[in-house]
Structure 1
Amino acid sequence: MSRYQSPKVDVNFNAAKGVAIGIIILILIGVMAFASVKIVDAGHRGVLLHWSAVDLASPPLDEGLHFVVPFQDDVVDIEVRTLKYEKDTRSASKDLQTVETTVTVNYHPDKESVHRLYKNLGLDYENRVIQPAIEETVKQVTANYNAEELITKRPLVKADIESAISERLNQFEVVTEVISITDFEFSALFDSAIEAKVEAEQNALKAENDLRRIEVEAKQREANAMGLANANVAEAKGEAEAIGIINKALSENPNYLEWLKTQAWDGKLPLVVGEGGTPFIQIPTNP
């Protein structure tokens, strides 16, 4: 066997080696190209990392295609659309009544500050800041009101809770949109006491209204009676005055009585006439 390889074998080996190197180069180029392209999804912002450290000098990346330095840089997607967090809370009122309610917070991370949010809290910021903010705020606010005030002054309580939660979350680059509070729920014993109190107040109001109605009706009857009495007095007074006038006229003029007779006569002769003390009957005849 010859100690020397043929030139043909060397050529084939070199060709295969060149092809392998070419393939490796293409793979490396593909990997480099793939690693340099980052896509930020719609409704998200990208946090740029240099060797896994947040680059606070660079603003968050908008949604779309971005090119970075392969292997050195990376991009973390953070959703900035409206998100929802709901938490059941249990607290105590000022008069030590147990209060249960559900708070729902619609929020979104600050679009221009998601890199600071990620640096300080990471992606689990709901459990780190939103949950404690809701629990502590509800406990602090409800402790300022009696249980009855939590019902009668609900808009004021809701405003206090909203303001406190918003102020606290804004410190962590979280923007609150809408905060909803479900009706406050109390123990069965307290609910029964409230129902009894409301029923008593309603009964008292009904009794007061009935008393006012009776007073009004009594005044109406009194007014009607006084009106009728005044009418009778006026009528009697009128009749008395009329009689006085007639008597005065008779005393001053005896012929006044005859004049009254002529005014009252209907023009027909009576059927029975007494003249000179001799009565006679006049029978009317047909014309």
Structure 2
Amino acid sequence: MSKYQSPKMSVNINAAKGVVIGIIILILIGVVATASVKIVDSGHRGVLLHWNAVDLTQPPLDEGLHFVVPFQDEVVNIEVRTLKYASDARSASRDLQTVETTVTVNYHPDKESVHRLYKNLGLDYENRVIQPAIEETVKQVTAKYNAEELITKRPLVKQDIEAAITERLNQFNVVTDVISITDFEFSPLFAQAIESKVEAEQNALRAENDLRRIEVEARQREANAIGLANANIAEAKGEAEAIAIINKALSENPNYLEWLKTQAWDGRLPLVVGEGGTPFIQIPMQP
């Protein structure tokens, strides 16, 4: 102790040193505690790093609180909820028509393999694998169809694109949920040609339907005419047979004519009769 330093001052200095040391210890404890506790956000999985190296032996960490070795271990959060990526792809059909296609992919990283995804691709895997997968797949699939088939066989084209993109992304531990082809766009000249062709086909179909209707109506009129002719022939044949029967009856029995008269008589007597009682003027009697 200096001869100029009082005992009271020496005690104050020692106390101050103790406070400073205590504060430093608390800070160190806080830093160590903070470095030891990691939180994985909701809808995410955590990739555990040992000295910035991915530990593939350790499965991805679930969302919540986790304790790690301070200063050695680090946790990277990767979102595993359904994400959306849209890309415009330019390609050519089999008949060399330029096609603009918009493809939207809803996907999510494989929850059990996000550590492998991070090790191989990092966090920028959309631009590294998803966009190239869409562009290359669209080019490969559209090259199998001509431009008209891309329109008329749209469900089949969509199915081929979906299968190819799904298979390609699964190799990188990315799971596809829904793949949508929102549009196929062609050059204005080709679109006009397609429209004209569709209109011509519709007109041809309408003309064919009209021709079928005319043929059906003609067959109906022909059937009606044949039916009417057959009816007239049957009626004439019946009358001829009736006349033949009457002539035969008259030749065999002269009194048959008188019998016919009695069948046609209404039971009224004429007012004026001729010679022999035969009526020559038929005058109806008033009631």
Q: TM-score, normalised by structure 2?
A: 0.95
Matched letter for residue 187 of structure 1: S
CA contact (8 A) 2:108 2:174 kept: yes
Residues 176-195 of structure 1: pairs in structure 2 closer than 5 A = 176-195=176-195
Whole-angstrom CA distance in 1 between matches of 2:43 and 2:238:
96
What's the counterpart of residue 70 of structure 1? 70
Please tell me whether residue 11 in structure 1 is matched to residue 11 in structure 2: yes
Whole-angstrom CA distance in 2 between matches of 1:188 and 1:123:
40
Whole-angstrom CA distance in 2 between matches of 1:191 and 1:226:
53
Q: Percent identity?
A: 88
List alignment gaps of at least 5 residues for structure 1.
none
What's the counterpart of residue 230 of structure 1? 230
Matched letter for residue 87 of structure 2: K
Cα deviation code 1:18-55 (max 9, x no counterpart): 11111100110011111111110000000111111111
Whole-angstrom CA distance in 1 between matches of 2:278 and 2:223:
60
Whole-angstrom CA distance in 1 between matches of 2:97 and 2:115:
43
Cα deviation code 1:135-168 (max 9, x no counterpart): 0000010001000110111111101000000000
Whole-angstrom CA distance in 1 between matches of 2:260 and 2:284:
26
Q: Secondary structure at the match of 2:203?
A: helix
What's the counterpart of residue 113 of structure 1? 113
Matched letter for residue 221 of structure 2: R
Whole-angstrom CA distance in 1 between matches of 2:23 and 2:282:
160
Q: Do the aligned partners of residues 23 and 235 (structure 1) sit closer, same or farther apart at CA in structure 2, a change above 3 Å counting? A: same
Matched letter for residue 153 of structure 2: K
Q: Do the aligned partners of residues 62 and 277 (structure 1) sit closer, same or farther apart at CA in structure 2, a change above 3 Å counting? A: closer
What's the counterpart of residue 147 of structure 2? 147
Q: Secondary structure at the match of 2:116?
A: helix
Cα deviation, residue 278, structure 1: 10
Whole-angstrom CA distance in 1 between matches of 2:112 and 2:49:
16
Q: Secondary structure at the match of 1:61?
A: coil
What's the counterpart of residue 245 of structure 2? 245
Cα deviation, residue 4, structure 1: 5.5
Please tell me whether residue 35 in structure 1 is matched to residue 35 in structure 2: yes
Matched letter for residue 100 of structure 1: E
Whole-angstrom CA distance in 1 between matches of 2:178 and 2:48:
30
Matched letter for residue 242 of structure 1: A
What's the counterpart of residue 92 of structure 1? 92
Matched letter for residue 59 of structure 2: P
What's the counterpart of residue 262 of structure 2? 262
Q: Do the aligned partners of residues 283 and 220 (structure 1) sit closer, same or farther apart at CA in structure 2, a change above 3 Å counting? A: closer
Number of equivalent positions: 286
Whole-angstrom CA distance in 2 between matches of 1:282 and 1:159:
96
Whole-angstrom CA distance in 1 between matches of 2:38 and 2:160:
43
List alignment gaps of at least 5 residues for structure 2.
none
